[in-house]
Amino acid sequence: MEGVVVDKTFWKGKKVLITGHTGFKGSWLSLWLQRMEADVTGYALPPPTKPSLFEIAHVADGMRSMTGDVCNLEHLKGVMGEYRPEIIFHMAAQPIVRDSYMQPVETYATNVMGTVNVLEAARHADDVRAIICITSDKCYENREWFWGYRESDRLGGRDPYSSSKACAELVISAYRDSYFPVETYERHGVAVASTRAGNVIGGGDWARDRLIPDVVNGLMDARPVIIRNPNAVRPWQFVIDPLNGYLRLAERLWAEGPGFSKSWNFGPNHDEVKPVLWIVEYLTKLWGEGACWELDVTHKPHEDNYLKLDCSNANNILRWSPKVGLPTALEWIAEWYQGYQRNEDMRDLTEVQITRYENMAT
């Protein structure tokens, strides 16, 4: 099914709050909403990496950027009370599996209680109509199945990160049922959904222990790329694809709240689910200049080997489907980081890729 791209006219003038706007996905979403003339407020800690897409692309220039921690409920309430958002994208998180082993308390505090605080602050805000909480495909209890996980499958997680995302999903469900139930939507007027995306890749990601940043850092430094788990299979997808899904979902929550207030998977087509080694070899070949990789032989904590999503609901109900195939995504990624190496205008290049994506639908 041919997917539908975001409705630009819908977003003009909409008051949007993004938590975690200084992160990788948050920066891409902020730039896209700015291009559509939304009234965007961001709430986040300072950028989590140096360099960061947020700083390099001057994301703050076209929005209201607030420094704050989602663990601070009273500050969140104050921000929502002052700027009165109509649509909330909750993206703030501790996003790294290996960091969760070293910092489990911080991971649970941010990913679980941070979600509680965002929903609690929104519960006391007057103008909110749609809340989209971004969790992770790792919220599912992974049984290493060949087929994709559906939204109704059991939640779980062996590591603190995955477990925290499953907990966040339970929080979202409880808040929806307790304070924003679909059966009384006409009274409260708030629609709440969660989204579960796969391994999102794209230009501007420098997070530690993620495949693309690890590969690109090695390529830019002209040293062998160190790979931890070459046979791990993940649902890789270009960053704009799930963002298009989140935006489409917000539009439907606004227009038809009760029918869309639930959990949604956003992942690549089944033939785009590839092992780590395939990604590394394709990207190093694109890069050229003698790029190579080596296997990391040090001790590694547990990471799931196989994970795939069933996106039938998003495909059939939202009319969403991924538009950027994996080879194209890797070409755009190489273009982005090589542009960064050449000191190009990275806001401009990022927006060029957003425009290119929009044009693919038309």
How high is the pLDDT of residue 234? 82
- Residue 323, pLDDT above cutoff 80: yes
Spell out the domain ranges in the chain: 8-198+237-270+303-324
Mean local confidence (pLDDT), 145-162: 91
Determine the Cα–Cα distance for residues 142 and 153; give it in Å rounded to an integer.
10
* Residue 271 pLDDT grade (very low, low, confident, very high; cuts 50, 70, 90): confident
| Lowest mean per-residue pLDDT among 86-90, 142-146, 282-286 | 142-146
Tokens describing residue 158: 């062996």
- Residue 347, pLDDT above cutoff 70: yes
Matching residue, tokens 């941070």: 114
- Residue 1, pLDDT above cutoff 90: no
- Residue 147, pLDDT above cutoff 90: no
- Residue 205, pLDDT above cutoff 90: yes
State the amino acid at position 260 in one-letter form.
F
Q: What is the mean pLDDT of the chain?
A: 92
Determine the Cα–Cα distance for residues 237 and 200; give it in Å rounded to an integer.
5
Architecture of domain 8-198+237-270+303-324: 3-Layer(aba) Sandwich (3.40)
**154-189 pLDDT, tens digit each:** 999 999 999 999 999 999 999 999 999 999 999 999
How high is the pLDDT of residue 61? 97
How high is the pLDDT of residue 231? 85
Using a pLDDT cut of 70, give the percent of the chain over it.
95
**What is the gyration radius of the CA atoms in the chain, in angstroms?**
19
pTM of the model: 0.94
* Residue 305 pLDDT grade (very low, low, confident, very high; cuts 50, 70, 90): low
* Residue 2 pLDDT grade (very low, low, confident, very high; cuts 50, 70, 90): low
Using a pLDDT cut of 90, give the percent of the chain over it.
77
Mean local confidence (pLDDT), 196-213: 91
β 274-275/233-234 pair status:
antiparallel
Distant-in-sequence, close-in-space partners of 51: CB < 8 Å, separation ≥ 6: 206
Mean local confidence (pLDDT), 317-337: 95
Determine the Cα–Cα distance for residues 128 and 280; give it in Å rounded to an integer.
43
Tokens describing residue 57: 């692309």
**10-52 pLDDT, tens digit each:** 999 999 999 999 999 999 999 999 999 999 999 999 999 999 9
* Residue 327 pLDDT grade (very low, low, confident, very high; cuts 50, 70, 90): very high
Angle at 132 between CA 36 and CA 320, to 5 degrees: 65
- Residue 313, pLDDT above cutoff 80: yes
How high is the pLDDT of residue 125? 97
Matching residue, tokens 């929005």: 63
- Give the number of other CB atoms < 10 A from CB of residue 8: 14
CA distances (Å), origin 10, targets 140, 190, 200: 33, 18, 25
> Omega into 275 within 30° of 0, i.e. cis?
no
Q: Quick check: 114 and 70 in contact, CB under 8 A? A: yes
Q: Name residue 16's beta-bridge partners.
A: 40, 87
3 state SS for the chain: CCCCCCCHHHHCCCEEEEECCCCHHHHHHHHHHHHCCCEEEEEECCCCCCCCHHHHCCHHHHCEEEECCCCCHHHHHHHHHHHCCCEEEECCCCCCHHHHHHCHHHHHHHHHHHHHHHHHHHHCCCCCCEEEEECCHHHECCCCCCCCECCCCCECCCCHHHHHHHHHHHHHHHHHHHHCCHHHHHHHCCEEEEEEECEEECCCCCCCCCHHHHHHHHHHCCCCEEECCCCCEECEEECHHHHHHHHHHHHHHHHHHHHHCCEEEECCCHHHCEEHHHHHHHHHHHHCCCCCEEECCCCCCCCCCECCECCHHHHHCCCCCCCCCHHHHHHHHHHHHHHHHCCCCHHHHHHHHHHHHHHHCC
How high is the pLDDT of residue 300? 59
Answer with the residue of higher pLDDT: 307 or 74: 74
- Residue 269, pLDDT above cutoff 90: no
How high is the pLDDT of residue 299? 53
Greatest C-alpha distance within the chain: 63
- Give the number of other CB atoms < 10 A from CB of residue 143: 11
- Residue 126, pLDDT above cutoff 80: yes
